[in-house]
Every structure is written in structure tokens, then in C-alpha cells.
Amino acid sequence: MSTAHPRLFTPVDLRGRTLRNRIVFGAHTANMAEDGLPTERHVAYYRERAMGGAAMLVIEPVPVHAAAVLTRGNFRHSDDGVIPHFRKVTDAVHEHGAVILQQLYHVGQHGDADNSYHPNWSPSGGPSYHDSDGSHAMTEVEIEETIDGYVQAARRCHAAGFDGVEVWAAYHSLLDQFWTPWSNSRDDRWGGSLDNRTRLSREICRRIRAVCGEDFIVGLSVSDEPDFDVMLQTESMSEIVELHDRDALIDYVSCGSGGYLDFYKLMPTFLYPEKLGVQLSQNLKAVVRHALVTAESHIRTPDNAEAVLAAGEADLVSIVRGQIADPHLANKAAEGRAEDIRGCLSCNQMCWGRRSRDYWISCVVNPSVGREWEWGGDRFTPTAAPKKVLVVGGGPAGLEAARAAAERGHAVTLAEATDRLGGAFRLAGLQPRRAQILDLIDWYERQLARLQVRILYNTYLEAEDARAFGADAVVVATGSLPTGTGFQKALPHLSALPGIERGHVWSAEEVMGRAARLGDRVVVVDEGGNWRGCGTAWKLAEDGRQVTLVTPDPLVGKELQRTAADFPLRKRLAELGATFLVESAVCAWSAEGATVVSLLTGAETLVPADDLVIATANAAEDDLARDLARDLDGEVPVHLIGDAAAPRQAPYAIHDGRKVGLAL
């Protein structure tokens, strides 16, 4: 048992259950349901986290009413048909010793008509901060109907074997809308005084307890939003929670951050500090007598969690993305192997980034997320026929392929052309605040050392070297390179950028790899809308350069919108004095600077600049694979993965690596 995290691994009682440690896998929409029912994908996803040692899992919320439906993957509301399907989830989790709850949710005015086809319901008809819709001020009858929706959802949970439910009042959801005077201007018994504004949530908790019994856990989730005065501030929130606690209506209260007014803090990326829910949790600790207090939001690691508990700031900690990234986080920490935990990058790229587009969630660093059911969890089955495997290229695809193959017992050699691992992903780790990527590369180095993978550095393999190596299988993960032509998709008639031959034109890779010698005024052309271009521009602006960012998209960081990172990034860039030219492209480069053309009007403007940095789609480095396929003539399988197969973002490279490692 870990001596580094004594408080984290101290059991605690929660309404008659013993939580084996203090680690919660908090509620999040995994969006994996099909036809509104939990699937094998769900069962295996949650089983893996219970197996990995988390004490309590709060699974994906169920909308409590037709007005509460939010995502394509939402579970069915108002249908007892879900019960036997949920039983499979609760059985799988209980089998591995964890307690399991379901969150009950209603977003009130911030609904989504795309999926609900139902008017948004709210206390006083306020607008949605999710889209451009308005809402309907609920009648008494509709309020009663909604209370019943919560109670019936809890009854189904009880029947399906859940240990309890978490009543969602966080992020300015329906219950928070009733609590908050800014969004509740009612003059009936549901508005006005504190008693009236909390009547709905108290009534829901009371009736759930009456229907589900004394040994059923009832939790409450709330959130901290210090940046908007109109939201409940700590003192008011403490008063409300105290009111629920005084009558023992709740067994725990969980504290998140942000909300519909600032979605970016809800699942904070690396642009934010850690432990965002702790400010509120420590205040609530001072007022509650009965309930346990959970701190959530960017706690990430067992060390952070232990620090929160040691400071008396919470009784439990929720680590969501950290356990998406490594489902075995709790056990590894308990066994004193915290260095084996694969760390979350706080990037949101595949968790929120997929949820926000209504796909089931996954993870950049852990491609088994959502595929546990078909890949046998985030674990490896030893091969019956160990092979001699040669992996060429030590970027994310090659690293994951080498690791997965070695975990299965193959004898793996990894050849890397440079003197270090990580490939272009390492360059991303040099962008501001992105050192978690470097931690991940360090993690790979530790894992490959543990698995006795032989690494040949400074080894540029030609086809004949690879053939002479005598492998049973070759994995080609040689990555991709910038085209060097300055071609932009926005100007398809220009196969190369006019004036590129005069120099002072660099790729994002050259900038981040410190190969570029740049003047003070830099134009960055970004056709990706993601971290490659935007993070490079941020680095240049942070270094004091005058940056003009040119993009064909209608906004800078278009692809970062899905990860809830675009606005905070633009804010930082703007604070650093960067200029944005959107719906534009660079049509010529000269000694004076970049000629920027508006895609809207065709007007051309000269932007004086010393250097031009280009972040456009790369070209695959697949020569080795082609030569090998020819030379080996099918005698030895050659697997082409990652950017070498087609230049893409890191998650697909890591996915390719795992997939081939499992298949060898």
C-alpha cells in the first residue's frame, strides 16, 4: 500500500457503504448509449475503472425528463426498459469492489433542441447559453412533473442496482437556475426567499429518499463560478448546501468549476491552473455536518489529490480525465507505482472534443477508451507466438506500437533517426504550458525501459538496413514533414507561394525545433486551426514577437472550439498583442512582408514582416514503407502507421500504434 498517499487510501463510510479509498470517477457524459440504452461499450468502460481501483463511480447522467435531453447518446428518460441494461453496468462495477451511482440531470434553459425537440424549461424564461434559443418559464404543473421525473429516474437507478444517485445542480443547470436570483425572478413559492428558491432541489432529494430508502446514497453536485457576479458566490452557495445538509438530505456534495456562462472552466484545459473546485470545497467543508465533500476539476494526479485531502480541503476527490487517461490510476498509486500512471494531457481533444461533436468519448493518450469491449480493456494478453519486431520511428505512433507489442511479449527494437524520442509531438510539448506532453514522452521512455525494448538512436534506416535486420514484422512510423512549398488550401491555384524562394519562410516544426532564426515581426499562416499553428503563434508572441495570425477560417483556433480551448487561447494571444486576420490567406511573400488576401472581398493588404511561418497540412514520409514493401515482396509484413500513413493529429497516431501492437 502506498505510503506516499496515506490519506488517499484511507477508507471512508458513505451511508453504510465503505469506500475503499477517496478516489471518485466523477460524472461525465461518455455519450456511448445506442438507442438510449447502455451498451457493451459502457459496461467495459466502467468495469475497467472499477478494476483499476477507483472507490466510487458516478456514471453518465440520465436526463430526467424530455426537456432535459441534451445529447444523441443520452440514456432514455422515462422508460423502465433501461433497468436490465443498467443492471449489467452495476454488476460489472460491483464485481470489482466499487460503489456506483448515476447522475440525474436537467439543463433547464440551456437545452439542445437538435436532440430534444422540446422547448427548454426554466424558472423564468431566460435564454440558453448553449445556443441561441430562449426558454419557457415553467408552470406549477410542469415543476411537479419535473420533480416526478427526478424521482422516477432515481427509482429506476435503485431497481438497476445503483448504490445511489447524484442530483445535478452544478454549472447553472435547472436546479442552480432556481437557486440563483439572476435566473429566478418568480414570485410564487418557487422564487424569492432562499427557502422558496431551494424548495425544488430539497423536494427532489426528500422524495428520492422516501422512494429509494434509507440506505440509498443521495449526492449533490455544485460548482464554483467566481468570475461572474450574477452566479451564486461562495457564501450563498455555502448557505444553500448547509440547508440541504442540515436536514440530512444529501450524503455528499461535489464541487466542480465553471458553468454555462464559462464553459471553458468546466473541464479546464492546460490553459488553467489545477484544483479549480477546491476553493469551494474547502468552504463547504466548514459548513457541512453530515455530508462528505468532494473536490473536483483538474486535480489530475494522486499527488494533487493527497495534497487536497491533507490540507483538509475535501473528504473525497474526483479525477475524471486522469482516470479516462489511465483507468488503473488508483491501483498504480496504491501500489507505489505512481510513475507508471499515464498522465492526462488536459487537452480535451478526444474526451470533450468528441463529446462536443456528439460522438462517444475517447482519449489522446489512451486509445482503448471506448474500445475496452473490443480490445480487452486497457490491458494486454501475452502472445502465443513471440516475434522479432522492428519499429521504425519514435514518434507517438512508433512509441505506442513498440510499447503495445512489447507488453504482449514480442522482442521489440525501435529505430529512431534523431537522438531523442517523441518526434513532432515533442515539439508540441515545447509550446507554452504543454509540458505534460514531455511528461508523456518520459512515461514512454520508462515503459520501454521496463519492457526491455531496444532503442537505436541516431539510426536512419534505409530499406536494405531494415531488410538485413531480419524482423518477423516491420512497423513503419516515420511520420510526416512540411511540404516546403507554401501551398495553401485556400489558394488552390497556387502550387507554391510566390516569393517563397527569397527565404525567411519557416515551418511550425522549424520554429518549435529552434531551427528558425526569426526577426521581430512574424506572420503565421495557420490552415489547421489547432495547436500546431496556434500554439506556435502563442510561443512566438510570448517570446515578445509581433505576431499576425492569418487563417482562412472565420476564427482563430477553429478546431480548438471542440476542446473548449479556443477562447482562452485567443484571449492570451490578444493580451500578448497578436493581430488576427481571419478568412484570409497569404498570396505573396516579398522583402517588404506578406501580401494578405481577403477571401471575402479579394482585397490585398501588405503586412510588413521579417519572417513567415507556415502551418499547413504535412506530407507523409512513406518512402521507407514503399521500398520495403517492394524489397520484402510480402515475405515480412510491413505495417504503415501514424502520420506516415496519412498526416493527422496525435490521437490517430497513438491509436494506430496500439492497434498494430495488439494485432502483431
Q: Which of 38, 61, 123, 393 binds ligand FMN (CB under 6 A)?
A: 61
In order, the DSSP letters of 234-280 are: HHHHHHHHHHHHHTT--SEEEEEE-BTTBGGGTS--TTS-S-TTHHH
Q: Measured from the CB of residue 358, what is the shortest distance to ligand FMN in angstroms? A: 11
Q: Which of 23, 26, 334, 541 binds ligand FMN (CB under 6 A)?
A: 26
**Cell numbers at residue 365, please?**
493518450
Q: By C-alpha distance, which of 150, 239, 140, 136 is closest to 203? A: 150
Q: Measured from the CB of residue 486, what is the shortest distance to ligand FMN in angstroms? A: 37
| Contact track, ligand FMN, 258-277, x by CB under 6 A | --------xx----------
Measured from the CB atom, the residue of 63 and 423 that comes closer to ligand FMN is 63
CA–CA distance, 412 with 389 (Å, rounded to integer): 5
Q: Measured from the CB of residue 116, what is the shortest distance to ligand FMN in angstroms? A: 15
Task: Write down the residue that cell numbers 521489440 correspond to.
Answer: 412
Task: List Cβ neighbours of 626 (8 Å cut-off, separation of 6 or more).
Answer: none
97-156 residues in contact with ligand FMN (CB under 6 A) are 103
Length of the chain: 664
Q: Measured from the CB of residue 267, what is the shortest distance to ligand FMN in angstroms? A: 4
Cβ neighbour number for residue 227 with a 10 Å cutoff: 12
Cα Rg for the chain, rounded, in angstroms?
Answer: 27
**Cell numbers at residue 492, please?**
488552390
Q: Residue 464 burial (CB < 10 Å; 0-12/13-18/19+)?
A: exposed
CA–CA distance, 624 with 477 (Å, rounded to integer): 10
Residue 351 in contact with ligand FMN, rule: CB under 6 A: yes
Residue 75 in contact with ligand FMN, rule: CB under 6 A: no
| Contact track, ligand FMN, 320-349, x by CB under 6 A | xxx---------------------------
Q: Residue 515 burial (CB < 10 Å; 0-12/13-18/19+)?
A: exposed
Measured from the CB atom, the residue of 322 and 423 that comes closer to ligand FMN is 322
Measured from the CB atom, the residue of 267 and 594 that comes closer to ligand FMN is 267
Region from 315-323, 391-399, 462-470, 544-552 binding ligand FMN, contact rule CB under 6 A: 315-323
Q: Measured from the CB of residue 83, what is the shortest distance to ligand FMN in angstroms? A: 21
Q: Which of 28, 88, 158, 410 binds ligand FMN (CB under 6 A)?
A: 28
| Contact track, ligand FMN, 283-312, x by CB under 6 A | -------------xxxx-------------
Task: List Cβ neighbours of 384 (8 Å cut-off, separation of 6 or more).
Answer: none
473-476 and 638-640: which strand pairing?
parallel
**Cell numbers at residue 191, please?**
422564487
Asked if 492 contacts 582 with a C-beta cutoff of 8 angstroms, the reply is: no
Q: Measured from the CB of residue 351, what is the shortest distance to ligand FMN in angstroms? A: 4
Q: Measured from the CB of residue 36, what is the shortest distance to ligand FMN in angstroms? A: 16
Residue 319 in contact with ligand FMN, rule: CB under 6 A: yes
Residue 170 in contact with ligand FMN, rule: CB under 6 A: yes
Task: List Cβ neighbours of 269 (8 Å cut-off, separation of 6 or more).
Answer: 346, 347, 348, 563, 564, 565, 568
Q: Name residue 24's amino acid.
A: V
612-641 residues in contact with ligand FMN (CB under 6 A) are none
Region from 21-29, 84-92, 234-242, 623-631 binding ligand FMN, contact rule CB under 6 A: 21-29
In order, the DSSP letters of 164-232 are: EEEEE--TT-HHHHHH-TTT----STTSSSHHHHTHHHHHHHHHHHHHH-TTSEEEEEEEE-TT-TTSP
Measured from the CB atom, the residue of 283 and 618 that comes closer to ligand FMN is 283
Q: Measured from the CB of residue 105, what is the shortest distance to ligand FMN in angstroms? A: 6
Q: With contacts defined by CB under 6 A, how many residues of the chain interact with ligand FMN?
A: 25
Region from 8-16, 135-143, 282-290, 313-321 binding ligand FMN, contact rule CB under 6 A: 313-321
- 141, containing H or E segment: helix 140-159
Residue 559 in contact with ligand FMN, rule: CB under 6 A: no
352-381 residues in contact with ligand FMN (CB under 6 A) are 352, 355, 361
Provide the binding-site residues for ligand FMN, judged by CB under 6 A.
26-29, 61, 103, 168, 170, 221, 256, 266-267, 296-299, 318-322, 351-352, 355, 361
